[in-house]
Chain A
C-alpha cells in the first residue's frame, strides 16, 4: 500500500512538474542572466532587439484610440492606403479596454501580441516599452531620422531616447492652455475678453474674485489624485511656462527643485491653501458644469466645451511673460512600431503615409487635434481662419515641452506627484524640502537606468 501511494505521488509530482515546465516555456523574455532561456512563443518577428528594422512587407495590424473622431480619421486613412496596397493591407482596431492604454500595451508586448503600430503611445511610457524590448527604433530605418527631424524641427530632440535613437514618432499634440469661463468671469466683475491672468499675483487675485463673485465654487479644479500623470495638467504646463521651455529633466539634471519648479509649487500651494482649488476629486467635469471657472485643457476642449462660453490664455508665469513667448506642456501622443511586427517595412511606410501633409490635415479637420509638425499655422491657415477657436492652440504648438524620455520615467513622475501631494495639495510639508528630496530620488531613479 505504501509503495502504491508513493508511486501515485511520484506520478502526480511528475505530472505537475511537466505542467509547470510547459508553462515556463511560455514565459516571456529570455534571461540574460542565464537560467531560463525562453523561446519566442510564436509571435510574429518577436525575439529581436528594438534596433532591428528588418522585416518585409505584407499585411499589418494597428491600434488606435477609442474616441469617435480618431476612429473616423483612422478608418479614412486606412481605406485610402488599402485601396492602393492590395498586398499590404492594414487591419485596425481600437486599443483594447483597460485601466490605461499603457497597461494594455505593456501586457501586449509581454504576451507578444502587440500590433505593428499603436497610434496612442504615450511618450512617458516609451522608456519602459523600450526596456521591455517592445519597440523598434524608428531612426534605424534609412529615412527614419530625417523623416522625424524634417517633420518636427528642433522639437525632435525632446523625443530621443537615452541611446540617441527615436523609438517613437511624435504624431499629434494637445498643447495645454488655461481655459476660463467668460460668463463666470463677467459675473465676478472681471473683463472676460482680457482677464488678468498673466502673472501669479494676477492669477491669485482673479481666482479669489471669481470664487467670491460668481457661481463657481472653485477657481480651477485639476484632479488632486495621486496618479503619476496628474502633474502634466497642473505642475508641468506652468513649469514649462516659468522655465521658458525646460523639460523636467534637462541635460541629465532633474529640475524639480530649481527655482522655477519651486515658484510653481509655491503658487499652487497658495491656491490650495486659499481654497481656490478643491482637494477632493470632482465627480463630473467641473469646468463643463460651472463648478470651476478655469481649466487646463488642449484643443479637444473646443468640441467638448461647446456649451461653455470660454476664452483661452497661456499658463501664467511669475513675471508675466508675453503670451507669444510662453511655453506649455505638449500632451503629445506618438506612434510606436512594436517588435512583434513581422512586416516592419510596410508598417514604416504606412506610418509615413498616415503623417503626410494631407492626412495631417484630415486629422486636424476630423479631430481638432494638432499634428505635431512644424509650420502648422501656415500649412493649414485656411482651416484656422474658418475655425478660429483652434488658432491659439496652433500658435502655441511652436512652444511646447514634452515629458523627458528618461529611464524609469513613470516612477520618476510618481515620485514627483507624491511630493506634490504632500506639500502642495495637503500642505503637510514645505514645498522646498519636499521638492528637494523628490529631485534627489528622481535623479537616483534615472541613474539606475
Chain B
C-alpha cells in the first residue's frame, strides 16, 4: 500500500481534492516532474517558438529592443517553397534517404548477423564498427578528405578511372558521397541495435528451421529478418530523421554544400538564413516544413514496416 492510500473510513465517500487532482500516487508526478519540465523547456517551447516565428518577419533582437516583427501569414512558407535552393536541398534529402536508408538496413543487418556468430576477433570487430559512430564528425571527415579529395588515396589507386571532376566537387557524386559517409559513420549504432534484437530471437526457432532442412541463408531470411522487424522499423525511422537533418557533411566535406549547391541541405540553408543572415522567420518556416515532412515519412515507414499481427 502506498503512503498516500487512505481508507474509506478516513476519507469518507468523497475523495479529497488533492487525491482527485493528483490521483492515488501523487509521488509519481514528483518523479516525472523534472523530465516534464525538461521536455517543456527544451522541446515544447522551442517548437512553439519556431512555429510562432515562422509566421512573422522575425529576427533575433537584443532584450528590450523595440522592433517590428509583424505577422506575415504564410509569406515565409511561400518564399521557402519558391526558393530554388530549397528545392535542390529537398531533392538532396531524397537522394540521401534513398541511398542511406536501404544501405543502412541491409549492411547493418548483415554485419550484425555476422557478429552474432562465433567469429574469431568478434569483440574487436564489434568495437571497430562502433568507432566511427563515437568519433567526432570533423575527424572522420578529415579521413574522407584524405581518401576522396582530388589528390586522395582513392584517386591515386584509380588513376585514370577516377571521376573528373573528383568525387567531392562532382555534381553527380557529391550527394552519394555524403550519403555513403553518413551510412558508414552511423553504421556502428545500427549494428548494435540489430545485434541486440538478434540476441533476443529464440534459439529454438533456428533449431526448428534446421530440423526442417533450412540453409544458413534461408534461416537468415525466414527467422532473423522477421525476428528483427521491430528493429528494422526503428532503424528506418531513425535513419530517415538523421538523413533529413544532415548538416556537418555538406558544411565540411563539400565546402558549404558544393559544388555549386549540389550537396546543400535544408539544415545548412536554415543555418545560413537563421544564424548567419539573421532571417530567423524564413529559417523557422523551413524547419517547420522539414519537421512535418520528416514526421510524415517516418510515420509512413512505420505504417508499412510495423508488424501489425
Residue positions of A touching B, CB distance < 8 A: 3-4, 7-8, 11, 15-16, 19-20, 23, 27-33, 38-41, 43, 46-49, 100, 102-103, 106, 109-112, 114, 128, 131-134, 223-228, 278-281, 283, 339-340, 408, 410-411, 414, 418, 421-422, 425-426, 428
Contact = CB atoms under 8 A, between A and B. Distances in A.
B163 interface: no
Contact of A106 (B68, B256, B278): B278
A340 B166 contact: no
* Most chain A beta-carbon neighbours within 10 Å: one of B64, B169, B275, B277: B64
A279 B61 contact: no
A187 B70 CA distance: 63
B62 A23 contact: no
B65 A49 contact: yes
A102 B276 CA distance: 8
Contact of A225 (B20, B69, B255, B278): B255
Contacts of B63: 28-29, 38-41, 43, 46-47, 110-112, 340
B220 interface: no
A422 B260 contact: yes
Given A133-B67, A280-B168, A281-B255, A46 B62 contact: yes
B45 to A, nearest CB: 5
Contacts, number: 177
Given A19-B40, A23-B45, A33-B69, A7 B62 contact: no
B62 A228 contact: no
B41 A414 contact: no
B299 interface: no
Interface of B: 15, 20-23, 36-37, 40-41, 44-45, 48-49, 56, 59-71, 142, 145-146, 149-150, 165-166, 168-169, 255-261, 272, 275-279
Contacts of A23: 40-41, 45
A30 B256 contact: no
The 8 closest A-B pairs by CB, nearest first: A47-B64, A40-B64, A225-B255, A29-B61, A226-B256, A133-B65, A112-B63, A32-B68
Nearest to A43: B63
5 contacts: A29-B63, A32-B67, A102-B276, A339-B65, A410-B278
Contacts of A226: 255-258, 261
B57 to A, nearest CB: 9
B64 A20 contact: no
B277 A410 contact: yes
B165 A7 contact: no
